[in-house]
């Protein structure tokens, strides 16, 4: 067995702002592991050869971010069920001449809620999901896997919500973007997967006073940590969970596969990321 330090990477374009190197670097240090996790920028045309090079250099694997998640999925020799249903991969593991493609976004989403809201369960009632892009797909997969009875799916462009409903079956019910308020009563999990609220950009027009008092509101946007949606929910006493935890939790399965230890998502990690 080689004694060389274990290597892993995050690949994207652009990649300069990725928090993943900081996150994995913190875990490597905290767990005393001799390993390195580095950012690499590739282009669409060089993605496949880039991945092949990493394999040849004995990298254990890589995270893959925008815009390569579909390409990463396509080159997996073995694909997890959740990656197949998301149509995208964010975690590649190289072993025994094979590439394993996984999508840990649904895992990150679910574990963020589980960690922050003890007793939270997707099966406790309908969910209202805002947005129908790539992040929404992964969250829909997670909610369905965990037994959500119904997903009310609202998207500005209705046809994208209709497309996901057709793909994921009759537990997913499209609702009009203009009818968000009417979709609130009864929803136990309310999720924003759109970019609205990022960088203080554009608030969602929704009247959360129509939500059930035991609804949990979460956002995948984590810049700012308290988005306008979370602030509005908090103001009227609803339980809120910010989106940073999803980023932290989605990194766990890759770290464990490549570096062999289970990392902790704790306040020390959050502080490292927030103070960067
Ligand atoms: P991601 O992979 O991060 O989900 P995406 O596929 O580009 O990114 O999806 C972005 C989501 O944010 C979409 O649901 C998009 O709605 P459209 O399908 O109508 O484009 C939503 N979104 C972005 N800007 C929005 C805005 N100003 N108002 C409402 N929804 C918006």
Q: Which two tokens stand for residue 25?
A: 């670097």
pLDDT in tens, 228-241: 999 999 999 999 99
Q: Indicate the pTM of the whole model.
A: 0.96
Q: For a substitution probing ligand 1, which of 109, 156, 196, 227 has the most ligand atoms within 8 Å of its CB?
A: 156
What's the pLDDT tens digit per position in 133-175? 999 999 999 999 999 999 999 999 999 999 999 999 999 999 9
* Minimal-distance CA residue to ligand 1 atom 21: 194
Q: How far apart are CA 187 and CA 207, in angstroms?
A: 13
What is the spatial distance between Cα 67 and Cα 82, in angstroms, rounded to a whole number?
19
- Return the bridge partners of 98, or none: 95
Best residue among 131, 223, 229 to mutate for probing ligand 1's pocket (most ligand atoms within 8 Å of CB) is 131
Distance CA 190, CA 159 (A): 21
**Catalytic annotation, residues:** 69
Distance (Å, rounded) from C-alpha 215 to C-alpha 195?
Answer: 21
pLDDT band, very low/low/confident/very high, at 97 (cuts 50, 70, 90) = confident
Characterize the bridge pairing of strands 35-41 and 6-12: parallel
> How many whole angstroms from 196 Cα to the centroid of ligand 1?
8
Mean pLDDT of 199-223: 94
Residues 6+ apart with CB under 8 A from 216: 113, 117, 120, 188, 189, 190, 238, 239, 240, 241
What is the mean predicted confidence (pLDDT) over 201-220? 96
Backbone angles phi, psi at 259, to 5 degrees: -110, -5
Read off the pLDDT of residues 42-86 as tens digits, 9 standing for 90 and up.
Answer: 999 999 999 999 999 999 999 999 999 999 999 999 999 999 999
Return the closest-CA partner of residue 103 out of 87, 115, 121. Answer: 87
CB atoms within 10 A of CB 189: 25
* Res 34: pLDDT: 96
Measured in angstroms, how far is the CA atom of residue 155 from the centroid of ligand 1? Answer: 8
Whether pLDDT at 1 is above 70: no
Kindly give the distance from the C-alpha atom of residue 132 to the centroid of ligand 1, in angstroms, as a whole number. Answer: 7
> Percent of the chain having pLDDT more than 70?
99
CA-CA distance, 39 to 183, in Å (whole number)? 41
User: With a 6 A CB cut-off, is 156 part of the ligand 1 pocket?
Assistant: yes
CA–centroid distance, 31 to ligand 1, in Å, is 38
CA 126, distance to chain mean position in Å, is 20
- The atom of ligand 1 lying closest to the CA of 194 is 12
């Amino acid at each position: 067995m080689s004694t060389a330090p274990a290597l892993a990477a995050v690949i994207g374009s652009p990649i300069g702002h990725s928090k993943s190197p900081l996150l994995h670097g913190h875990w490597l240090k905290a767990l005393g592991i001799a390993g390195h996790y580095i950012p690499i920028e590739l282009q669409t045309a060089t993605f496949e050869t880039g991945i092949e090079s990493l394999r040849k250099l004995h990298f254990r694997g890589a995270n893959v971010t925008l815009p390569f998640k579909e390409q990463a999925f396509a080159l997996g020799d073995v694909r997890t069920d959740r990656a197949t249903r998301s149509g995208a991969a964010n975690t590649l593991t190289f072993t025994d001449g094979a590439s394993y493609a996984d999508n840990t976004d649904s895992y990150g989403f679910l574990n963020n809620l589980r960690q922050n809201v003890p007793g939270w369960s997707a099966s406790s009632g309908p969910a209202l999901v805002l947005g129908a892009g790539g992040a929404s797909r992964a969250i829909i997969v997670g909610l369905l896997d965990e037994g959500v009875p119904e997903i009310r799916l609202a998207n500005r462009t209705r046809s994208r919500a209709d497309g996901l409903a057709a793909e994921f079956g009759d537990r997913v019910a499209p609702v009009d973007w203009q009818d968000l308020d009417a979709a609130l009563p009864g929803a136990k999990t309310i999720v924003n997967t759109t970019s609205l609220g990022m960088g203080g950009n554009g608030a969602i027009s929704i009247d959360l006073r129509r939500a059930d008092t035991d609804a949990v509101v979460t956002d995948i946007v984590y810049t700012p940590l308290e988005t306008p949606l979370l602030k509005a929910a908090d103001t009227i006493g609803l339980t809120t969970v910010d989106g940073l935890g999803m980023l932290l939790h989605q990194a766990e399965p890759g770290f464990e596969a490549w570096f062999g230890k289970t990392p902790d998502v704790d306040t020390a990690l959050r502080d490292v990321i927030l103070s960067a």
